[in-house]
Every structure is written in structure tokens, then in C-alpha cells.
Structure 1
Amino acid sequence: MTSSSSDRPLLGRRSLLGLGLGLGLGASFALAACGDPGQAGTGGSAAGGTLKWGWALPTSWDPVFSSAGWDVHSLSLVYAGLTKLDEQGTAVPALASAWKFSTDGTSVTFTLRPGLTFSDGSPLDAAAVKKSLDRGRTEAKSLVAPQLTSVREVSAPDAQTVLLELSRPDYQIPNLLAGKTGMIVNPKAFESDAAGLATRPAGAGPFTLTSYTQNAKAVLRRNPAYWDASAIKLENFEVHPLPDAATVVAGLQSGQFDVAQIPGSQVAAAKAAGLEVQVIPSLVVAVLDVNVEKAPFDNPKVVEALKFAIDREALLKTQLFGYGEVNHQPFPKGYVGYDPASADLYRYDPAKARALLTEAGHPDGVDLTLTTTAAQGLPEQLQAQLKEVGIRATIDVVPAAQATQIVYIQHAKALFTDQFAGRDSAAQAFQVLFGEQGLMNPGRRTPPELAAAVEQVSRTPLDSPEYPKVLRAATALAVRTMPNTFLYSVPRLLARRKSVSPVPAFTAVQRFEGVTAS
């Protein structure tokens, strides 16, 4: 089965907070020009214009040590993978023109496009792909290694063939390799100065980083050697930190940004200012991480009470100004893993929440701590809602830079406000949310039946008619057995100047093929 000819249902992307890797504040780097115009091939000569994107700068430009799922958007500008996800989240060819699984699903062979190069002109052949994937699998403290545990060996039988031998059937591999996990890094760079990749990416993406000022701006130029260069119409690209909600519209009007993420509260102002606004469905979902090793959530009845105590409709209206949808599960409507039977599983029911607290031995209510990185907004609204059923929540604010260490590494908090944006494969999303080593599973418990259901997801070919049913069954089991409390899906709200053409509505990772700016 080759991916290039099938229409497969999807899979998708991130955790807003990851494992924070500091690079030092205020560092500024100028990068040598990369890319050989003589190798432009399909690059063409019609590209032009500059796009300034108000979004987010990555925690690291090295995908192996990038610590936030959010980073994938910026990293996709400078790196390419064997596959990519289309607008529906289906794995389609990228550096690889096709792939094929063995009959038993324990190996997959990728065929590379001919004549590929990295942005510095180095050959991007099977040997380079092998070295890059092996680095992700084996490098000490690699943050993508947990996603590659099913890969037993990578080999390069010839210059255009990459063979992945698997320890078990895993049909999620093409989706998995579409994200950070599969971004191909130039071996020439990590073999000579691996640490330098944190600020000087070495990839084969649509753009090449030319200068970088940490926490301020990344300047990129079109890569004429990119495998799909003819689809890239922009000559220059800039990435800026996400603007403050109060100033983002003014920044767009002044030309400080051409495209920027905006909160729902600013949509009306953006439209009134003559800006175009796109509402792009995404895989981001607001969620509460619950640690069942910490009281009072060591009692399952309290966990269940929490889920019924939240008025998600009210949260959505206030926090997102109605943009998005109430959600009780990790996948949005329209996604292959969305389980209709779980749509209203924990509909707001304060009476039931109070009854569950009584069953848990707390007839007079219970006290707990709600940890967050910003007290105002969602935490305060949750605090007020929980008080109505007898859950007295004290808000605990921790610095965003320390939250990952405190919540995900030390597992020191009982309840944490978070956002999850999926991953490039559904099985990977399950691992992050519900796996025994999952970042967003601080209690580190996974029911055996759920682990078996997720294993079945990996063992089912994506183009099998059984795949949607298998995936939805795993979703249904997860939301009923795990403590994660999902709140609402968060769309990507992008405002843009009229001089910029519409931005493609990619569900998982924002891409810019075909975008023009004048």
C-alpha cells in the first residue's frame, strides 16, 4: 500500500507547554547564506514579497530537542520530512515520493525523490536520512525518541531507498514522520556542531534561516532547492513572537505583521480595521491535566465530579468569544478519531457533581489547588464554577518557564490548566495524553485495556475500513478511563492584511504553499 494514491483519514499535532530548553536571553545570530541557485530546479523565478508572521519562535531550532509542540509550525519552515500532512491531516509524499509496508506491517520502505539536497547544497540521500532518524532515536535526552520506539533499525539499501524495520506492526509511521519526529536534519551539521543547531537549523525546508534574534525575530529566505519550491511564492519570511492581544490589531494595521494569530476577543476589532480573518479548524483542545497520585484525585469519584462540575459552554463563550466547540475528548469533530458517542459524555451537571463528591466522602465539599501560568481568565472562571458544586479551588500561579519542569517532570501538581494540539499520528497523541510516560499523564497510570486499544490502533493500516472504528473505540475508552478533563476545541484564528492572499487551512501544521504578499 503506497500513501501517494490513497485518501486516508488523518492524524495531528502539539502540547502548548513542552520540556523547556533555554537558549539564553537576548542572543542574536547572523547566519551564512545557504542554498545554491544553480540547484533551483523546480524553484522558478516568480517568487517575491515578504511575509511577517506574528506567531511564536521555537524553543530550539533543533527538532530533536525542541521542547514545545507549538514549535512544529516554525520548524516546518526550515525542515522537511519524508512525509507531510495535507489540509485534512492525511500523510502525503514530501521528501519521499512513495512508501510501502511489508505484508505483516513490520517494515516500511520509503522511496526518496531524486536529486534532493539540503539548503547548503549537501546531498539529501538515504544515508543522510538514516543518520538523521538514528540521531532522533538514540541521542541522549532526545525528545522525539519516545515516539520512535517501534523503529528497530533504519537502513539505506541504496541512495534513494530508506528501510525502517519495526519491532511490531506500526502503520502510524507515515503520519508520525510528518512532524518534528521525522524532520530530516543535515548530518553535516550535527556531526560537526550539534549544539549549534539550537540557533542555526540545517534542513531542507521551504525556507532557510538567515538571521535570528532570540525572543525577537527570525528572518528567512526562500530555499530554491526545496523539493516543492515552485509552490513557495514568498521570497522572504519573518517570524515574530506572538503579539499581545491588546496590540495585535494595531501591529497588523501598521505593517509590523502581515499575518498574526489573534484571540477571539479581537476578531471584531480586526474586521472593523479592514483586516481579513480566517477561522481555521485545528487539533488544539483546552484540557485539565489531573494527577491521580495526588489528593483529592486519588479518589476516582472526585475525578468524575470534576468532569461534571464544569460548564464548558460558558467557558467557550467567555474564553474564546464563541469561536471553537465544546469538547469532551482529544479530537475535534470531523477528525477520524472523534467518537460521536462521547460527544456529551460529561455535560454540565452540578447536581451529579455534588452527589459524586458525597459518594467520595466529601459531603461538605473538597479543597484543591488549581495550578496555572496565568491567574486571570480561564483559571478564575473555573474557580467560580467549581465553587458552585463545593470544590474550593485555590489558584496557584507558576512561571511559564518552570511549568514544564514542575508539572511534567516532577509531577508535583494535582491539577493544571493546559492545551493539547494532538500529534501527527493518533497513536502518538494517545501516548502523550494517556501513556505511562506521557507528558500530560502526570499520574503515570494507564489501564491495560487502554494500552491494548492503542496498540491495536498502531496495528491497523490507515487505509483499512476498520481503522476509524478501531481508533474511535480507543478514544471512547480513553475518555472514560483517564482523568484528563477536556474542555473545548480551539481553532486557529489568523488575521491578515489584504495584501496577503488567503492562508491554506491546514488542520495540523500551518503551511504557506501558494501564499503571496505584495
Structure 2
Amino acid sequence: MTRARTNPARPQLPNPRQTRRGFLGLGLAAGIVLSLEACGGASTADSASGGSKTIKWAWQLPTTWDPVTSSAGSDVQMLALAYDPLTALDEQGNAVPWLAESWAYDEAGTSVTFTLRPGLTFSDGKPIDAAAVAASIERGRTQDGSLIAPQMATIKKVSAPGDLEVLVELSEVDYQYPLLFAGKTGMVVNPAAFEADAAALATQPAGSGPFTVTSYVQNDHASMKKNPRFHLADEIKVENFDLYPQQDPSTAVASVRSGQFNIGRLGGAQVQQAKDAGLDVQVIDTMYVSVLDVNVSMAPFDDPAVVEAMKYGIDREKVREVAFFGLGDVNYQPFPPGYVGYNAELDDLYAHDPDKARQLLADAGYTAPVKGTFTSSGQSDPAVELIQAQLKEVGIELEIESIPPTQHTQLVYLEHSRALTYDGFAGRESPVQAFQVLFGAEGLMNPGRTTNPELEAQLEKVKKTPTDSPEYPALLQEATRIAVTSFPNVFLQLMPSAIARKGVSELPDLPSLRRFEGVKA
């Protein structure tokens, strides 16, 4: 049998001072509580004990408060304020207890039983028992319109053979579920809510996380209060959490300095400005990688030569220096160094080579500039404009189309109506899930809906290999090689999260889920 490490008292804690190269397999959506000693680092918060005990963050609002229909990977950050997953990840990317205190696969690897911690409750006081968890997982894999269902395709049935035992029966061997259940797919939704009115979950989350939403105005703000029934409630040191959409980076410093917010997200251009203004600046490594997503069913990117020329035509280091003021690291694959799926052989695979880009186009018969459209949601206009200029130099002339951020997911990934877009990939708990999202035939971030039989076969090997097997890393890294060399995605750079704080203690320094245990305001 394959068993999880068990600690019924509390989750196992990662080292808060890990470097990017010191962790293996952390997904952005996962995270473990830091020890309280590691969480409260800022002197400004230590002197604010008489303050409002409220975090006011100009961060982001989710596309929905329902994990089942969430259409953005980064939503998991906000959803984790209201929901708990079954498992979490430690600093090596291993699944560790969260709502489930342990789990075990059968000898064949075709079923896994999760044992819940006793005494857990949803925010409304209803028990989190095996029947509730089974109903939540079943809804996620069967509800019409579920965006997490594709990640659970190998589940045949979920049942509750005991009050605390959740049995997940599989159609084939798949050792990824303890990892998968550390994110949106494993977030447990209160059945009382979705059985009464599932549509209401879009604006009224019903979970067991550290906070409960008291009011929500779409595209404006969400107000939350501490959930006293959260299983680590004693470690939540703030009473309220007010969440707002990200502000224009040019106003972030002024809004934090004035007290409108006490945490704000910064662009690279604002980091020094925030320091000069006397704010606490924190730069946190993440799993977020910027990427150009390509729809190969649309011209001119239906020609592989154009796609390959584009990969060589972009000077990623220049984009990093100019558009992001030196923040981040150039990267050619969806995973960072140190991640179990990171393939070092891909380093500099598409290093800037404008002559090669021009030759690829010439060999393909292009005698005039290739014309196309480059869609931007305003996420990083300087990067988009710089990439446009670099590609023009090698013979690819792109007209920039700006669309509102609120329409980006719908137009690019649901309607598949745009040929090229600048976006980012927020990482996933299970590396197989990451491949499915990026490269699967139904992958949300695969606008062309193309797939590769060689990659699919390799991922089958990965799924059927226990994650603690010595063979697992090499199998996963080979999948990365196949994906990066055969798919059109143009990976650009790893993007850290830069924030300005005023009167709030240091946030846990994890390249994963933002956690707030121990954080003071």
C-alpha cells in the first residue's frame, strides 16, 4: 500500500527560507502553513497591534467563487480564502495532510482511500464527513460545465464506506490524486449549498477555509471575516480580509501609502518607488510563467515554420530587463528550476537567434512579412509591444488587438477565436494536470485543441508510476521535453510576485499558495 505521512495535529511545515532551486514540485495553488515564528517578520505590523486587524489587498477577484466552474488557474489563490482542499503540498511537492489526515492506495493502484481528520466542520457548522466530501468530488467530476472534470477522468466512483473514509475508485492506475486534490479539484464545497442552489456559489462560497465572504460585488470587491470554525483558526491573526481587483501598477504605491489598501501588487517599475516611499517591499518567487499561447488552427500560426521562427525571434532577456525591470528569470518551459518536472536539457533551447528565425521563414517560402494579430488583455502592455517590435525585425508583423481582461478567457480559451495571446500559466499541484491544461485535447489553455500521441503515451507512464519511485522524475522530465519541442506555446519567463505592504507583517515566502496563518495587521 502507498500511505501518506500522517500528522493529525497539524500539517507538516516547509522551510520558509527555501530558494527557488530548493523546492521540488510546488504548484502555485498549493501551500502549507508556516510556523508562526516565520510568518511575522515586519516591524511595521508589530507596532500595529492597536490597528484594525484588517487586510485590504488590491489583489484580484476570482472569475467565480465556485471551484468547479472557475476558469482561471490563479483563481485558486482567492478560492483558498474560503475553501480547504483534501491535501496540501510540502516544499518538495509531496502531498501531505490537510482535511485528510492520511490516505492509502490498494495494491493494484486502482483505488485510494482518504481518511479525514475528525471534528471538521464547514463555516456554517455542518460536519465535513466522508459523505459530504464524496458528494463534493462527485459534483466536480459530473456536473455539466465543470472545468475540473477533465482532471478526474479516471475516477469511476466516489463513496463513503465510513464516517471518515472516502473511497475513490479508478478506472486505471493513477497515482496523481493526492497531488491533484491539493488544489481546486480537491476543494470541498458544502453539499448543503450546491444541493440547494449551485448557481449561487458563483457569488456565495460555501467552504471551510480561513475566511467567510460577507459581501461580494462582482468586479468591485469582496469583504470577508475570520472563520472561527477553520481548523487552524487560532493561527489566523486578522479579523477581516477585504479583497479588491488589482489596481493600475502606476497607482499601487500611492494607494498603499495613503492607506486605501495595506497590501498592493507592484510592477517592476514600482519596486524602487515603493521602497523610496518607505513601504515594505516583498518579492516572492512563484510558479507563474509568462507564455504566448498559440492557436495553430488560425493563420499564420497554422504554419509550424512561423511558430518556430517566433520562438527564436524573441529576446526574452531583453523583455525581462526592459518590460519587467529585471524581475523574474528567463524560462523555456512551464516549470521552474528545482521542480521535479524541470528538464535542464531545455535550457536556452530557443535562445534569441534572429538570423535563424529569418532563415526558417525564408526556407518556408516567405518572401514578404508574415502578417497576424497579437491579442493583449493589458496584462503587460510593455512586454507585448516589445515582443511585437522584436518579431517585426525577423519578418513577423503583428497588429496588437487590446481586449478587456474580463473578456480574455472567454474569447481566447472558451471560444478559441484568437490566434496569439500574451498570458501566464499559474502552475498546478499535479504535473500531469499541468500537462492536461496546457497540452491536452480539452485543455483550457490549449486554444488550438491539438494534442500529441507521444506526449499522451508518456503521461500514461507518469500516472502509473508512484510519485516516490526513483523512475518518476525522469519519466516526467521526458514528458516536458516532448511538450516543449512539439507544441506551439512560447514560454518566456518566471514571474515573481512583488508586493508593497504598510502595517502588515511579512507574508509566507512560498512559491505557491499565499497563506495568511500568522500574518498580522
Q: TM-score, normalised by structure 2?
A: 0.89
RMSD: 2.0
Give the C-alpha shift of residue 220 in structure 1: 1.4
Structure 2 residues not aligned, in runs of 5+: 7-11, 15-22, 30-50
Give the C-alpha shift of residue 215 in structure 1: 2.3
Q: Which amino acid aligns with 1:286?
A: S
For 2:428 and 2:354, the matched residues in 1 are separated by 33
Q: Which amino acid aligns with 2:442?
A: Q
For 1:57 and 1:290, the matched residues in 2 are separated by 26
What per-residue deviation string (whole Å, max 9, x for no partner) do you get for residues 30-54 of structure 1?
xxxxxxxxxxxxxxxxx98221122
Q: Which amino acid aligns with 2:315?
A: D
Aligned to 2:228: 224
Q: 2:456 aligns with which of 451, 458, 476?
A: 451
For 2:520 and 2:71, the matched residues in 1 are separated by 31
Q: 2:195 aligns with which of 164, 181, 191?
A: 191
Structure 1 consecutive aligned stretches of length 4 or more whose deviation exceeds 6 Å: none
Aligned to 1:157: 161
Aligned to 2:143: 139
1:259 lines up with 2:263 in the alignment: yes
1:354 lines up with 2:358 in the alignment: yes
Contact 2:235 2:518 (C-alpha < 8 Å) held by counterparts: yes
Q: Which amino acid aligns with 2:518?
A: G
Correspondences of 1:386-465 after superposition (within 5 Å): 386-465=391-470
Give the C-alpha shift of residue 376 in structure 1: 3.5
1:174 lines up with 2:178 in the alignment: yes
What's the secondary structure of 2:231's corresponding residue? coil
Give the C-alpha shift of residue 435 in structure 1: 0.7
In percent, how many aligned pairs have the same letter? 56
Correspondences of 1:9-408 after superposition (within 5 Å): 9-13=24-28, 49-87=53-91, 89-374=93-378, 376-408=381-413
Deviates more, 1:73-82 or 1:207-216: 207-216
What's the secondary structure of 2:339's corresponding residue? coil
Give the C-alpha shift of residue 155 in structure 1: 0.7
Contact 1:88 1:506 (C-alpha < 8 Å) held by counterparts: no
What per-residue deviation string (whole Å, max 9, x for no partner) do you get for residues 283-337 of structure 1?
1111111122222222222211110000000111122111100011001122111
Distance 1:384 1:496, change over 3 A: same
What's the secondary structure of 2:250's corresponding residue? coil
Contact 2:416 2:447 (C-alpha < 8 Å) held by counterparts: yes
Contact 2:376 2:384 (C-alpha < 8 Å) held by counterparts: yes
For 2:66 and 2:297, the matched residues in 1 are separated by 34
Aligned to 1:19: none
Deviates more, 1:177-186 or 1:208-217: 208-217
For 1:314 and 1:169, the matched residues in 2 are separated by 45
Give the C-alpha shift of residue 125 in structure 1: 0.2
For 1:89 and 1:273, the matched residues in 2 are separated by 37
Give the C-alpha shift of residue 351 in structure 1: 0.6
Contact 1:11 1:426 (C-alpha < 8 Å) held by counterparts: no
What per-residue deviation string (whole Å, max 9, x for no partner) do you get for residues 51-93 of structure 1?
1122011121111122222211111011001112345544221
Give the C-alpha shift of residue 177 in structure 1: 1.0
Structure 1 residues not aligned, in runs of 5+: 15-46
For 1:100 and 1:115, the matched residues in 2 are separated by 21
Give the C-alpha shift of residue 439 in structure 1: 2.0
What's the secondary structure of 1:471's corresponding residue? helix
Aligned to 1:511: 515
What's the secondary structure of 2:179's corresponding residue? helix
Aligned to 1:21: none
Q: Which amino acid aligns with 1:2?
A: R
Give the C-alpha shift of residue 403 in structure 1: 2.6
What's the secondary structure of 1:407's corresponding residue? helix
What's the secondary structure of 1:67's corresponding residue? coil
What per-residue deviation string (whole Å, max 9, x for no partner) do you get for residues 402-461 of structure 1?
332322223222211111111121111101111111122222221211111122222221
For 1:104 and 1:180, the matched residues in 2 are separated by 27
Contact 2:411 2:418 (C-alpha < 8 Å) held by counterparts: yes
Give the C-alpha shift of residue 381 in structure 1: 0.8
For 2:440 and 2:276, the matched residues in 1 are separated by 45
1:491 lines up with 2:506 in the alignment: no
For 2:281 and 2:470, the matched residues in 1 are separated by 37
Aligned residues: 485
Distance 1:403 1:57, change over 3 A: closer
Distance 1:9 1:165, change over 3 A: farther
1:2 lines up with 2:6 in the alignment: no
For 2:282 and 2:89, the matched residues in 1 are separated by 20
For 2:92 and 2:248, the matched residues in 1 are separated by 30
Contact 1:147 1:428 (C-alpha < 8 Å) held by counterparts: yes
What per-residue deviation string (whole Å, max 9, x for no partner) do you get for residues 138-195 of structure 1?
1111111111111111010101000111112221111211111111111111111222
For 2:471 and 2:284, the matched residues in 1 are separated by 29
Q: TM-score, normalised by structure 1?
A: 0.90
